[in-house]
Amino acid sequence: MRPRTRVRAGAPAVLIAFLGVLVLAPACARKTAPPLPAELAKASRVDINGWINVHLEGTPREIGFQHGWLLAPEIDDLLRALAHFLEGSTKRDWAFFRAAAERLFWPKLDPEYREEIEGIAAGLRARRPDSVRDRIDITALNGWIELAWYYVPYLDAQARPGAGDNKAPGYCSAFIATGSWTEGGGIVMGHNNWVDYVIGARWNVVADIVPAAGQRILMDCLPGAIHSGDDFVVNGAGLVYTETTMGTFRGFREAGTPEFQRARKAAQYAASIDDFVRIMTADNNGAYANDWLVGDTKTGEIAKYELGLLNQRLWRTRDGCFVGSNFPGDEKVIAEETTFDPSDQGQSVLVRKARWEQLMAEYKGYIEVEDAKLFEADHLDLASGRTGFNSNVLCGHVDEDPKGAPELGWAPFAPAGSVQGKVTSTALAKEMKIWARMGHPCGRDFSAAGFLAAHPEYAWQEPYLKDLKASPWTLFQAGK
């Protein structure tokens, strides 16, 4: 029997179909305008409902150049915002992050990803000749989470032995279900991205990438990123994946390969769950330690892969569901690699876990795409039994929470929470489609000016803190 509480989301839909070439110059441009770079022949950009939808195609260098050119203003803006935010948050300037990226990450990158990153920097400079950004800026942009929330605490613990109470970020709420749990028996996957709003308001790219080698990729990402970052991916082999971070994780291996390359490589080259696990595990550096939710739409099998630095665990099924809300699940991971306290049932990660489990049980047998949209917008706080706008709900609003999310490092009223949502299914993934909503999935807007007036303690973010407006759910499809 279908749950009586079921309500249909009625947001308008927009289907994006790529036309092959984006005319970047206005129709009234002078005939003497210089021709567009040849690398852009197969590229396109469409701005819709708060998203920037780009199509990138070709060799690694061509894909990178297209990316840098089409998103030049946004990449430049993000780099400035990141430098300001990270210095305020970690007390390290951008020169520190550049140096760390050049030493730790650049030497470990495969040639094709070096070429793509160099292409992004070249495209950015070609579009904005006054730019001095280079490949190391783009590398640091791609690895900012790894450096800020894993490498910096690792250095701090070395400088102050015993000070390893690292609170890795608790980004995102997500689920994946299959078999008798879903309406048609196929896979349904949903994810909303939690992050500081100064970054999240800029996390608004949907990229359709056709590389010369490997699988086609449809994913959301930051401007300048070669990987999704919050990790919502559909590829041409029918693989879908997402993740939520393990909050309170501590660990970093300087000699390892950066997570951002491994995640991009999995998107491009994995055709099965086993492929995904192999690629993500190889030369793991421990940074951005996640619980990965993976589905193979060819078989209907789903998996949860908890990837620690010292310990890993894989759960898989063709009839069940997995949820994520920043809690580690394996006892060895918890004991040896986190400061997680499973007995503290009032913490956000466990309150949200309980709500996910409640929703999965209530909707078992009927879970489908429209339900996933509702789940991501959910505001029931099981700690209080009431609807709330705080860090205990699936659609997080830390900026309205007087306790913040201390187990995840967010102070009271920190301007952070869910910044966008995505959903896909077996039927959608077979056509390389995803639904996405920019802004809080619940539709609630964030006003930077209003927030700063009420919370002057965050005035240091004012130069780059932007409004976060909720746009309609939008259907994106890889180019036809």
Place of tokens 């029918």: 238
Give the separation between CA 207 and CA 237, rounded to whole angstroms.
Answer: 17
Question: What number does CATH give the domain 167-458+465-477?
Answer: 3.60.60.20
| Residue in 420, 422, 419, 418 with CA at minimum distance from that of residue 373 | 422
Dump pLDDT digits (tens) for 338-376.
Answer: 999 999 999 999 999 999 999 999 999 999 999 999 999
Tell me the percentage of the chain whose pLDDT exceeds 90.
Answer: 87
- Strand pairing report for 15-16 and 474-477: parallel
How far is C-alpha 301 from the geometric centre of its chain's CA atoms?
23
- Strand pairing report for 239-245 and 233-235: antiparallel
Place of tokens 């305020």: 88
Give pLDDT, residue 35.
86
Whether the pTM exceeds 0.85: the reply is: yes
3-state secondary structure of 315: strand
Handedness of CA 148, 194, 244, 357 (dihedral sign): positive
Are residues 21 and 42 in contact, defined by beta-carbon separation less than 8 angstroms?
yes
Give pLDDT, residue 18.
37
| Residue in 260, 285, 287 with CA at minimum distance from that of residue 169 | 287
Give pLDDT, residue 360.
98
Three-class SS of 340-395? CCCCCCCCHHHHHHHHHHHHHHHCCCCECHHHHHHHHCCCEECCCCEECCCCCCCC
Q: Note down pLDDT in tens along the chain; length 480 residues.
A: 444 344 333 444 433 333 333 334 444 445 567 788 999 999 999 999 999 999 999 999 999 999 999 999 999 999 999 999 999 999 999 999 999 999 999 999 999 999 999 999 999 999 999 999 999 999 999 999 999 999 999 999 888 876 555 667 778 999 999 999 999 999 999 999 999 999 999 999 999 999 999 999 999 999 999 999 999 999 999 999 999 999 889 999 999 999 999 999 999 999 999 999 999 999 999 999 999 999 999 999 999 999 999 999 999 999 999 999 999 999 999 999 999 999 999 999 999 999 999 999 999 999 999 999 999 999 999 999 999 999 999 999 999 999 999 888 899 999 999 999 999 999 999 999 999 999 999 999 999 999 999 999 999 999 999 999 999 999 999 996
Cα dihedral 387, 389, 391, 397 in deg (nearest 10): 150
Dump pLDDT digits (tens) for 155-169.
Answer: 998 888 765 556 677
Give pLDDT, residue 165.
56
Q: At what angle do helices 72-90 and 111-127 cross, to 10 degrees?
A: 110
Give the separation between CA 58 and CA 20, rounded to whole angstroms.
Answer: 13
Question: What single DSSP character describes residue 37?
Answer: P
